[in-house]
Amino acid sequence: MIEALPEWGVPAEQVLAELRELRTADLPTHGGRLFAYVYDPAVPGLDELARAAYALSAHVNGLDPTAFPSLLAMENALVAAAGRLLGGGPGTTAPEVVGSVTSGGTESLILAVKAARDAQPGVANPRLVIPATAHAAFAKAAHYLRVGLDVVPVRELRADPAAMAAAIGPDTVLVVASAPSYAHGVVDPVSDIAAAAAERGVRCHVDACFGGWVLPYLKRLGADLPAFDFAVPGVTSISVDLHKYAYAPKGVSVLLHRDAALRMPQFFAYADWPGYTMINPVISSTRSGGPIAAALATLRHLGDDGYLRLAEQTRDAVRILGDAVRATDGVRLFAPPETSVVCLAAEPEVDLFVLADELAARGWHTQPQLAYGNLPATMHLTVTAAVAATATDFGPDLAAAVAATGARGPVVLPPELLGAAIALTPEQVTPDLIEGLAAGLGLADGGAGPMAAVNSLLNVAPPALREALLAGFLSLLQRPSWGER
């Protein structure tokens, strides 16, 4: 246990040594073997640069851009770069693009929904139309903002424009497309969706949080991908995360609007109290300049040419991984690997969750995705440039992992656990029940050991029960240990 407030202060070197020791328990953020959570360009010196830039501005406060013009200049520069990359700026059909720097994709999406909602004060019960493959952050936005959510079934993993158009009603304030979707890495038919929204006078947001910084470069390299940016008429806003394929340290995304009038309802202003008048473009009020400075340093150091090279490496790694999946009996590509994701499914004789554990045991950390609707469980691999160096090692390990999975056989859950997972209602999930389950599954100390049993259990539970179980488990993890004193 680490004590955050010791009686006597601890020397700096010791504190750092302790932090390094804590970090040894984490998955590897570098090295091209972790296919979720992290984005690694493997560019020598980039981490050091970003860290130094972060430190320079860590104590600068984005609360008031007139007090810290350095931050304003950096934010405007990031927005201009993102706008240009995504089809806006001088000489384009979207010359007036503006934007805000947020803390991440979820914040950008919440703000896109807020702007759309508040632009229509006359709509008493505003609604949001999303394809079923849109990121879960839209559900969070709808929940936080009390906006109704219309989830439209997809066709072959992509949004269905006709069904999306049919779902637009008088209360719809925003229609969404993904470029690409996170789970499968495929791009929605943005032009048709945006046209349907524009025809009804409704805003259309393109969620390019995940791929917005790599798709333009993949296109330049010749990838055959649909138009998805401001060049598409009817697209009113786009989000792109710099802490994903722009390879900036965590905490930076950009939300772009086609013009300043569209952005206006995103802002929150409040003067009706005795303190300073609060004008916030984003959800946070006080904001560290650290992530923004680090992002700016990253972009300037890599440059357009650097991102093109990194996209090329990513594309090559995707091809190698995709070929490895095609060449391995027992698994198959579940989605076309057209961007930076490899998504695979397992044949019935291979337990996908055991396979994930077997790959982890060989040093490859993938992201299992639970069965949903008529989609089977799949395995997600976010591929970044660092994977170019490791990709050729994946095929042999995948084959070995599949063989080991076959030898181990599928997870067999005790019938009482299986019965509970199907029959429990979310309301029945109490802290005691969670503690019992965690102990039964060997998760009592929160370690991410073999996860096949947990995933198998969640896989048979309906979504509402999955939510309750995982929320309960998180609550179990997030408890202070009080120590001796």
Ligand X SMILES: Cc1ncc(COP(=O)(O)O)c(C=O)c1O
Side chain identity at residue 19, one-letter code:
L
Which residue is listed with tokens 């020598």?
44
- Asked whether 135 and 207 are in contact (CB, 8 A), the reply is yes
Residue nearest to ligand X (CB): 105
CB-nearer residue toward ligand X: 130 or 385: 130
How do beta strands 331-333 and 367-369 pair?
unpaired
User: Taking CB under 6 A as the rule, does residue 217 contact ligand X?
Assistant: no
Shortest Cβ 104–ligand X spacing (Å)? 3
Give the one residue of 39, 54, 182, 228 binding ligand X; rule: CB under 6 A.
182
CB-nearer residue toward ligand X: 365 or 408: 365
Q: Which two tokens stand for residue 430?
A: 């109490």
**Residue 143 CB: number of other CB atoms within 10 A?**
11
- Asked whether 49 and 298 are in contact (CB, 8 A), the reply is yes
Count of residues of this chain found to bind ligand X when the rule CB under 6 A is applied: 12
User: Taking CB under 6 A as the rule, does residue 339 contact ligand X?
Assistant: no
Give the one residue of 106, 314, 339, 369 binding ligand X; rule: CB under 6 A.
106
Q: C-alpha distances in angstroms, 320 versus 37, 69, 94, 332?
A: 21, 46, 37, 14
Q: Which long-range contacts (CB under 8 A, 24 or more apart) does 428-431 make?
A: 429/465, 429/468, 429/469, 429/472, 430/472, 431/472, 431/475, 431/476
User: Taking CB under 6 A as the rule, does residue 135 contact ligand X?
Assistant: yes
Shortest Cβ 240–ligand X spacing (Å)? 10
- Kindly give, in sequence order, each residue whose CB lies less than 8 Å from that of residue 92, ignoring residues fewer than 6 positions away: 230, 231
Q: Which stretch binds ligand X (CB under 6 A): 104-112, 115-123, 326-334, 355-363?
A: 104-112
Query: Binding string, 229-248, against ligand X, x = CB under 6 A?
Result: ------------x-------
Q: C-alpha distances in angstroms, 243 versus 37, 38, 240, 266, 441?
A: 10, 9, 9, 22, 34
CB-nearer residue toward ligand X: 74 or 137: 137
User: Taking CB under 6 A as the rule, does residue 207 contact ligand X?
Assistant: yes
Give the one residue of 210, 228, 307, 473 binding ligand X; rule: CB under 6 A.
210
Q: Which stretch binds ligand X (CB under 6 A): 154-162, 202-210, 258-266, 269-277?
A: 202-210
Shortest Cβ 53–ligand X spacing (Å)? 20
User: Taking CB under 6 A as the rule, does residue 105 contact ligand X?
Assistant: yes
Shortest Cβ 159–ligand X spacing (Å)? 13
Query: Binding string, 299-328, against ligand X, x = CB under 6 A?
Result: ------------------------------
- Asked whether 255 and 236 are in contact (CB, 8 A), the reply is no
Shortest Cβ 138–ligand X spacing (Å)? 8
User: Taking CB under 6 A as the rule, does residue 209 contact ligand X?
Assistant: yes
User: Taking CB under 6 A as the rule, does residue 185 contact ligand X?
Assistant: no
- Asked whether 149 and 128 are in contact (CB, 8 A), the reply is yes
Q: Which stretch binds ligand X (CB under 6 A): 21-29, 101-109, 304-312, 355-363?
A: 101-109
User: Taking CB under 6 A as the rule, does residue 104 contact ligand X?
Assistant: yes
| Strand partners of residue 368 | 379
Q: What is the CA radius of gyration of the chain?
A: 23
Q: Measured between alpha carbons, how far is 466 from 463 in angstroms, rounded to an integer? A: 5
Site for ligand X in 446-465 (CB under 6 A): none
Give the one residue of 178, 266, 328, 459 binding ligand X; rule: CB under 6 A.
178
Shortest Cβ 382–ligand X spacing (Å)? 8
Q: Which stretch binds ligand X (CB under 6 A): 207-215, 291-299, 415-423, 463-471?
A: 207-215
Q: Which two tokens stand for residue 428?
A: 């029945």
Shortest Cβ 310–ligand X spacing (Å)? 18
Q: Which stretch binds ligand X (CB under 6 A): 100-108, 213-221, 391-399, 447-455?
A: 100-108
CB-nearer residue toward ligand X: 38 or 443: 38
- Asked whether 227 and 93 are in contact (CB, 8 A), the reply is no
User: Taking CB under 6 A as the rule, does residue 291 contact ligand X?
Assistant: no
DSSP character string of 80-146: HHHHHHTT-STTSS-TT-EEEEESSHHHHHHHHHHHHHHT-TT-SS-EEEEETTS-THHHHHHHHHT
User: Taking CB under 6 A as the rule, does residue 338 contact ligand X?
Assistant: no
Which of 171, 177, 178 is closest to 148 using CA atoms? 171
User: Taking CB under 6 A as the rule, does residue 257 contact ligand X?
Assistant: no
Q: Which stretch binds ligand X (CB under 6 A): 39-47, 98-106, 187-195, 391-399?
A: 98-106
358 sits in which H/E element: helix 352-361
CB-nearer residue toward ligand X: 42 or 248: 248
With 0-12 CB in 10 A as exposed, 13-18 as middle and 19+ as buried, what is 112? buried
Helix (H, G, I), strand (E, B) or coil at 156: coil
Q: Where along the sequence are the contacts to ligand X (CB under 6 A)?
A: 104-106, 109, 135, 137, 178, 182, 207, 209-210, 241
